[in-house]
């Protein structure tokens, strides 16, 4: 976090943070979303639901600079608090502008996320922040998400910020990739991401990775 506070972070139309658990990418995502005015548990600037305050105070140290004419609308989606967000959306559905929302809890996690993404919340300009959106999504659904996010990033007054473990999500065309790890935060290319290298080697020779973890499954 010291590097972030020292050097700042320039966001492109689509910026993707990639790194192992504990590297700090979700902390940065949460802090930027909160500093923007979004609910730290997910939702828009107007979302009022809270369960237990657990966010880092990092957002108090950040100052965001908006471009001229940029939209003030935004939406934050984080995998670990999706259940609470859907509960809030269902409870306020009849009194909101999105009264045609489905009953999210009646859908699978992946189906509910796709339904949320397809709502008018994401069909406008704004700042869209997502923390590990691939959770619960099939390979095909991740490809659909990549297409939707790429479309969002092409809008003149929209910006996308994502943290992910998925090499599929990290493959969004023209995204700026930032890899977090012991080296700090560094810009890189998709072909140079550690997670891409691991997936490639695992798919080519799964026994090499599994021999010390489980009995031979083949």
Q: Is residue 50 in some structural domain?
A: no
Q: Give residue-wise pLDDT tens across range 82-135.
A: 778 888 887 776 666 655 677 877 888 778 888 888 777 787 789 999 999 998
Q: Is residue 208 in some structural domain?
A: no
* β-bridge partners, 128: 75, 160
148 close to 169: Cβ distance less than 8 angstroms: no
Angle, helix 109-117 to helix 82-91, in steps of 10 degrees:
60
Helix (H) or strand (E) holding 26: helix 25-36
Residue 218 has pLDDT above 60, yes or no: no
Q: Is residue 202 in some structural domain?
A: no
How far is the C-alpha of 109 from the C-alpha of 107, rounded, in Å?
6
- Total number of domains in the chain: 1
129 close to 81: Cβ distance less than 8 angstroms: no
Query: Residue 165 belongs to what domain range?
Result: 2-42+69-190
pLDDT band at 214 (very low <50, low <70, confident <90, very high): low
Q: Is residue 81 in some structural domain?
A: yes
Please tell me the pTM assigned to this model: 0.85
If you search the block for the tokens 């984080």, which residue do you land on? 78
Q: CATH code at 80?
A: 3.40.50.300
Name the token pair of 185: 């935060």
- pLDDT at position 166 is 96
128 close to 160: Cβ distance less than 8 angstroms: yes
Winning range, highest mean pLDDT, from 59-63, 135-139, 184-188: 184-188
Q: Is residue 60 in some structural domain?
A: no
Q: Is residue 182 in some structural domain?
A: yes
Q: Give residue-wise pLDDT tens across range 8-63.
A: 888 999 999 999 998 989 999 999 999 998 988 888 777 666 655 556 778 778 88
Residue 217 has pLDDT above 60, yes or no: no
Q: Is residue 210 in some structural domain?
A: no
C-alpha torsion sign, points 21, 30, 193, 186: negative
């Amino acid at each position: 976090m010291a590097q972030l506070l020292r050097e700042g972070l320039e966001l492109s139309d689509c910026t993707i943070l990639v790194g192992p658990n504990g590297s700090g990418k979700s902390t940065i995502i949460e802090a930027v979303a909160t500093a923007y005015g979004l609910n730290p548990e997910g939702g828009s600037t107007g979302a009022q639901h809270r369960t237990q305050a657990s966010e880092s105070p990092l957002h108090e140290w950040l100052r965001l600079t908006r471009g001229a004419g940029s939209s003030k609308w935004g939406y934050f989606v984080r995998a670990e608090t999706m259940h609470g967000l859907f509960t809030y959306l269902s409870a306020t559905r009849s009194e909101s502008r999105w009264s045609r929302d489905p009953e999210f809890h009646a859908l699978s996690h992946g189906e509910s996320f796709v339904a949320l993404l397809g709502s008018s919340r994401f069909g406008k300009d704004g700042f869209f922040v997502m923390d590990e959106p691939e959770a619960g999504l099939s390979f095909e659904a991740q490809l659909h998400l990549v297409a939707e996010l790429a479309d969002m990033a092409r809008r003149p007054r929209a910006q996308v910020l994502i943290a992910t473990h998925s090499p599929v999500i990290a493959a969004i065309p023209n995204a700026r990739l930032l890899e977090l790890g012991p080296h700090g935060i560094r810009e890189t290319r998709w072909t140079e991401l550690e997670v891409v290298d691991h997936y490639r080697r695992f798919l080519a020779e799964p026994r090499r990775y599994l021999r010390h973890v489980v009995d031979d499954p083949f």
